[in-house]
A and B are shown apart, each in its own frame.
Chain A
């Protein structure tokens, strides 16, 4: 009797496995993820920068993409545009105001499978304490075992926000984001 229960339990567990989306932690430890942005300089060229410190996790199952979720937390003070005087300015209250808003956050609300590894990720971006719905156009780059006994999945995505939506004193137009995320399955 006991044996049957155990076997049933195992069988149920095995059958249940594929429908359970796997949980991944974004590999910021090994720096296999980056949050890059660009904004127009005087309208003549692109100025690029990135956030060096962030963390996050996501769940993903290629057979049930709609059940996917992602959450990313960004340390706003880690902004880096390769110029310390400018970064200092970006951190002050003209821009990120990091003393007041130390974190920015993205929390997905809906993930749609567009086919061909393409995903549409809708979610809430919290920046300067303001919540705004944004859409990230993402694509899965690949997933599989890594050489060190782990399992990884990676995505890239792009999105855009408008500076005026977040109450900045200056408006340089849109800020475009170029996102690269690799997760290690837990």
Chain B
């Protein structure tokens, strides 16, 4: 298995970034969905948000590295069997997924830092606040964080269904290139 991407196959680094991100994002979504309804007396009331934030910040750093890696190791060429229109829309969907991910992470950061507090990442280090940038920051950032997360998961589901369609119906290399 190659480290860098080739013209026909994703390399090990890209695959790890892709599948670990997928796993973590789905996990963060699930935890986020669950933790906002925790009662005050739950033992998870403090722990779940702490982990959600810590892992989210680490994912941000991983995503920056992932972007750099994508730059240094260009992805395989699109399959010749798909039309230009399909290739372009697929590209647009992939870029939208990255953009949503970044906006969700940044809005999450803005919720917790709206009052000048830093975010503790697993008590290893902390990420400082940029101060209150807009009024009602925690509420506005909270709405953006919530709704874009639904959108991201919706789009990622379409992305996954499309990959399965390529694999089982078109029987082409699309999914295999990422496995």
Seen from chain A, the residues whose Cβ lies within 8 Å of a Cβ on chain B are: 77, 82-85, 87-88, 91, 169-170, 172
Tell which of B98-106, B110-118, B170-178 binds the partner.
B110-118
A84, B40: Cβ atoms closer than 8 Å:
no
Chain B positions within 8 Å of A, measured between CB atoms, are 39-40, 49, 111-112, 114-115, 117, 136-139, 142
Contact check, B39 vs A87: say whether CB atoms are below 8 A apart.
Answer: no
- Bound together, the chains give a CA A87 to CA B40 distance in angstroms of 14
Q: Which of A82, A84, A170, A172 contacts B138 (CB 8 A)?
A: A84
Q: A83-B117, A88-B138 are in contact. List 5 more A-B contacts (CB 8 A).
A: A84-B111, A85-B111, A85-B112, A87-B138, A170-B40
CA distance A15 to B66 in the complex (A): 84
Question: B39–A84 contact, CB under 8 A?
Answer: no
When A and B form their complex, which 3 residue pairs have the shortest distance between CB atoms, in order from nearest?
A: A84-B114, A84-B115, A84-B138
Q: How far does the Cβ of B152 sit from chain A's closest Cβ, in whole Å?
A: 21
What is the minimal beta-carbon distance from B73 to any residue of chain A, in angstroms?
39
Complex CA gap A156/B137 in Å reads: 32
Query: Would A88 and B139 count as touching, CB distance under 8 A?
Result: yes
Using CB atoms, name the residue of chain A closest to B110.
A84
Partner of B115, one of A83, A169, A170, A172: A83
Cα–Cα distance between A117 and B137 once the two chains are bound (Å): 43
Given the known A-B contacts A170-B39, A170-B40, are A88 and B111 also in contact in the complex, defined by CB atoms under 8 Å? yes
Q: Are A85 and B39 in contact (CB under 8 A)?
A: no
Bound form: Cα–Cα A14–B161 in Å? 85
The chain B residue with its CB closest to the CB of A171 is: B40
Enumerate chain A residues within 8 angstroms of B142, measured Cβ to Cβ: 88
C-alpha spacing A87/B115, complex, angstroms: 10
In the complex, how many angstroms separate the beta carbon of B78 from the nearest chain A beta carbon?
43
* A82, B49: Cα distance in complex, Å: 19
B45–chain A nearest beta-carbon distance, Å: 10
Q: What chain A residues lie within 8 Å of B112 (beta carbons)?
A: 84-85
The answer to whether A82 touches B115 (Cβ under 8 A) is yes
CA gap between A91 and B138 in the complex, in Å = 11
How far, in angstroms, from A85 to B46 measured CA to CA in the complex? 12
A-B contact pairs, 13 of them (CB 8 A): A77-B136, A82-B115, A84-B111, A84-B114, A85-B49, A85-B111, A85-B138, A88-B111, A88-B138, A88-B142, A91-B139, A170-B39, A170-B40
> By CB atoms of chain A within 10 A, which of B117, B137, B142 has the most?
B142
Instruction: Give chain B nearest CB distance to A40 CB in angstroms.
Output: 12
Residues of A within 8 A of B115 (CB): 82-85
For residue A31, give the distance in angstroms from its CB to the closest CB of chain B: 17
CA distance A59 to B102 in the complex (A): 55
Closest Cβ of chain B to A87, distance in Å, is 7
- Interface-central residue, A82, A85, A87, by most chain B CB under 10 Å: A85
Query: B139 contacts which chain A residues (CB < 8 A)?
Result: 88, 91
